[in-house]
Amino acid sequence: MPYRDPKNAKRDAYFKEYRRVNRERIAAKNKKWYLKNREAIIEKVKPYLSEYRRMSRAKQLDCFVPLSDDEKKLLTFIESTRRKMIEESGKQYEIDHIIPLKYGGLHHPINVQIVESRQNKTKRDSISADSLSLISEHISLYRQRIGDCRADRFVTQIARAMCLTKEKLLELLESDGEWKPNASASFSNSTLEDFFA
């Protein structure tokens, strides 16, 4: 059993009794403080709430890997930056998943970007040629943090979205630069030839 300083035990007992006796007074004081600082508290909490909603959606779609504290902070920072951009420019910005969650794209700092709302609505659930470079990183993250089974399922999802077989996609990923995606191509309205030179 850990050592407890008798002075601290006395102090703890005193404050416990004080809180019990003055429960209503403390609650009223806290409520008054909250009402006075409500707007500041809400503004401070908004980025965390938005990020929590995105994380929940990713979990529902099984596109979530456990995040480190640094990765969580980075996602919250990206959300805060988005809000500041809206304030400063007056334009609407959104957080976009480069590889859409629909196709197994992760809710992870490597897969999010801030884009204008109209650009995000135009993109919707399509996979751009720029996102192809992230496939290997997704596979690696799924393998490390979830397991081979989920990584394999991601490969199947993304191959289906690209109208390829799983084997062909893996072959293309292992070919180390033999293919060059056309930057203007988008999988939702293009053929396979648009992506390979």
Q: Report the b/e string of 13-31 with b at 16+ CB within 10 A.
A: eeeeeeeeeeeeeeeeeee
Banded model confidence at residue 4, pLDDT cuts 50, 70, 90 = low
- CA 120 – CA 13 distance, rounded (Å): 57
Whether 68 maps to a domain, the answer reads: yes
d(CA 52, CA 165): 35
Per-residue confidence band for 185, with pLDDT thresholds at 50, 70 and 90: very low
The tens digit of pLDDT for each residue in 29-83 reads 999 999 999 998 888 888 888 889 999 999 999 999 999 999 999 999 999 999 9
pLDDT at 194 over 70: no
Q: Is residue 47 part of a domain?
A: yes
Beta bridge partners of 77: none
Instruction: Cite the DSSP H helix spans in 67-114.
Output: 69-89
Is residue 169 situated within a structural domain? yes
Query: How confident is the model at residue 16, as a pLDDT?
Result: 92
Distances (CA, A) of 126 to 116, 118, 155, 162: 16, 14, 16, 10
**Domain contains 91:** yes
Question: Would you say residue 117 lies in a domain?
Answer: yes
Q: How far apart are CA 154 and CA 36, in angstroms?
A: 49
Structurally, the chain folds into a number of domains equal to 1
Using the 8-state DSSP alphabet, how is residue 184 labeled? Answer: T
The helix or strand, by DSSP H or E, that contains position 108, with its residue range, turns out to be none
- pLDDT at position 187 is 43
**Helices 23-60, 69-89: crossing angle, 10 deg rounding:** 90
Q: Cα dist. 80→5, 20, 84, 186 in Å?
A: 43, 39, 6, 29
179's tokens? 């293919």
* Lookup: tokens for 68: 């480190």
Q: What is the domain range of residue 133?
A: 6-195
Residue 86, both tokens: 């809206």
Top pLDDT among 173 and 63 is at 63
Report the candidate in 88, 92, 97, 100 with the shortest Cα–Cα distance to residue 118: 92
Residue 1 lies in a domain: no
Beta bridge partners of 116: 93
In a domain, 140, yes or no: yes
User: Model confidence over 80-127: pLDDT tens digits?
Assistant: 999 999 999 999 999 999 999 999 999 999 999 999 999 999 988 888
Mean per-residue pLDDT, 156-164: 89
